[in-house]
Amino acid sequence: MENVNIHKTAIIHPGAKISPGVSIGPYSIIEGDVTLGDNVRIGSHCVITGQTKIGRNCKIFTGAVIGSPPQDLKHSADDNVFLNIGENNIIREYVTINPGTLEGGGKTLIGNNNLIMAYAHVAHDCIIGNNCVMANAATLGGHVTLEDSAIIGGFSAVHQFVRLGRLSIVGGCSKVVQDVPPFSMCDGHPVEVIRTNAVGLKRAQISEKSISLLKKAFKILFRSGLTKTHSLEKVSKEVETCPELDHLIFFIKTTERGICS
């Protein structure tokens, strides 16, 4: 293995694919179907198992367990399932991430540049986009989707099959049982839409015009008291369109669990 730094107490299966620049800390275990990309950093006492691929420049801290079997009673040890993690992700202490299940398509997918803080859990068949943040002890049930730049506060739990929209933020200790609309700030038990995520929108360099249009649409969608169908009709008639608003409307129209109120 070329230009790697593996502590003498680490256990590396000979079938594991270890790329140049990889560092593996004391007492960590890397099993046979694992692929580690260039410059991946594995801390001490980590377990990387299953059919797991980790992209270059990821940093995984002490005690993380990545790729262990799904916590799903329907899963069999013989099932051919996968976990794919992209590039430049930071996975902090004692995080757990499971691969997919056959029922859910067989893959858990994590994009690039995400921060998953200590004790967080990503269950089977989740899809996480890019630039997302899961704060300490945030928990995703199975089949959850996080669009790009979604943020989940500490100790929050997300129900199975829920989606969190792009640039949404969920406050700490929240209970998320329905889809969280893009560009929103939500909080509560269960979560409710508070307002647009104004700070996140500005940091993402969304135009002032688009922000204004989103605020107008949010008032109609979440404050007018109209049904979903009627509020969407009102938005289409009264609010000028923009790419962000188009995405918001599409997200609401395609919900299966409903949108948080």
7: annotated active-site residue: no
Element (H, E) at 130: none
Q: Which residue ranges make up each domain of the chain? A: 5-146, 202-253
Same fold across 5-146 and 202-253: no
Q: What band does 1 get if pLDDT is binned at 50, 70 and 90?
A: low
Fold of 202-253: Udp N-acetylglucosamine O-acyltransferase; Domain 2 (1.20.1180)
Nearest CA-CA partner of 161 in 175, 178, 174, 148:
178
Percent pLDDT > 90 in the chain is: 98
d(CA 7, CA 11): 9
Tens of pLDDT, residues 7-18: 999 999 999 999
Element (H, E) at 233: helix 228-238
Average of pLDDT values for 229-246?
A: 96
pLDDT reported for residue 55: 98
Percent pLDDT > 70 in the chain is: 99
For CA atoms 112, 200, 151, 240, the dihedral sign is negative
Query: Taking the chain, what is the end-to-end CA distance rounded to the nearest angstrom?
Result: 54
Residue 240 pLDDT > 90: yes
Nearest CA-CA partner of 5 in 19, 17, 23:
23
Tens of pLDDT, residues 135-180: 999 999 999 999 999 999 999 999 999 999 999 999 999 999 999 9
DSSP 138-171: -EE-TT-EE-TT-EE-TT-EE-TT-EE-TT-EE-
- Catalytic hit among 142, 165, 171, 200: 142
Per-residue burial over 88-125, b if 16 or more Cβ lie within 10 Å, else e, is: bbbbbbbbbbbbbbeebebbbbbbbbbebbbbbbbbbb
- Catalytic hit among 25, 55, 75, 125: 125
pLDDT reported for residue 261: 87
129: annotated active-site residue: no
Entry field: residues in the chain: 261
Q: What band does 186 get if pLDDT is binned at 50, 70 and 90?
A: very high
pLDDT reported for residue 149: 98
Mean pLDDT of the chain: 97
Place of tokens 């594995």: 42
Residue 21's region, left for phi above 0, alpha for psi from -120 to 50, else beta, is left
Given 3.40.50.150, 2.160.10.10, 3.30.360.10, 2.30.110.10, which CATH number is that of 5-146? 2.160.10.10
Residue 201 pLDDT > 90: yes
Place of tokens 């395609």: 254
- Catalytic hit among 75, 121, 124, 247: 124
Please say whether the beta carbons of 237 and 230 come within 8 A: no
Please say whether the beta carbons of 142 and 160 come within 8 A: yes
13: annotated active-site residue: no
How many other C-beta atoms lie within 10 A of the C-beta of residue 223? 11
